[in-house]
Amino acid sequence: MSEPKTIYINFYDSITPDHVKHIMASLSEIISKEKPDKIYFLFSSCGGSVEAGVVLYNFIRSLPVEIIMHNTGSIDSIANIVFLSANTRFTSDHSSFLFHCIIQPVNANTNLTKSQLQELISGINISENKIASIIAERTKLPLEEIRELFLQGEAKNPTFALQKGIVHEIKNPSIPKGTELLSFNL
């Protein structure tokens, strides 16, 4: 019986709509043409767009191949959701996971009506609930603790990630010699 075909992908970038479109198109092409059994992400990201992160999470969850995520530095903000899309997750010895509440940018000198403020608050609440729900489903963290993490805005270490089921093992990545390695850094 032959070894399963694994393709390694390095990603160190932000989670933006354009980056997510590129990742989805590239993964679709790789799966169609290369027909791998596994895709192993060497993943690190400062976060980015909540909507783009949730779209990528759902897309990765739908893929017909095994996805492995390996934190190679830091998983911040919405990147946690993308990271949690994999059923198998590792983190390097020297890595971190940052959790915080939703940040809604507002342009300087912007005037908002009461209904516009309520719309912003409603959107923030929906986004935080979506993120908290995914984290609770995919880890051992209860919703109450997740909400506390959002309020704290605190980075967590690999030991915390292992204890809370964010990762399954702390180990440094090792790419086998002769393995196909792609980079999705834009």
Residue 159 in domain: yes
CATH number of domain containing 142: 3.90.226.10
E strand spans, 77-149 = 88-91, 96-99
CA dihedral 86, 145, 106, 125 (to 10 degrees): 90
Tokens standing for 152? 């704290």
CA distance 149 to 99: 6
Q: Which domain holds residue 149?
A: 6-102+110-183
Plot region of 99 (φ>0 → left; ψ -120 to 50 → alpha; else → beta): beta
Residue of 92, 82, 60 whose CA lies nearest to 162: 92
> What pLDDT is stored for residue 106 in this prediction?
82
What pLDDT digit, counting tens, does each position of 71-108 carry? 999 999 999 999 999 999 999 999 999 999 988 888 88
> What pLDDT is stored for residue 59 in this prediction?
99
Which segments of the chain have a pLDDT < 70? Answer: 1, 186
> What pLDDT is stored for residue 41 in this prediction?
99
Pairing of strands 154-156, 96-99: antiparallel
Residue 85 in domain: yes
Residue 69 in domain: yes
> What pLDDT is stored for residue 92 in this prediction?
99
Residue 74: partners with Cβ closer than 8 Å, 6 or more residues away: 44, 45, 46, 95, 96, 97, 98, 155
> What pLDDT is stored for residue 95 in this prediction?
99
Residue 1 in domain: no
> What pLDDT is stored for residue 104 in this prediction?
82
Q: How many domains does the chain have?
A: 1
CA distance 73 to 134: 22
Its pTM stands at: 0.94
Return the bridge partners of 15, or none: 48
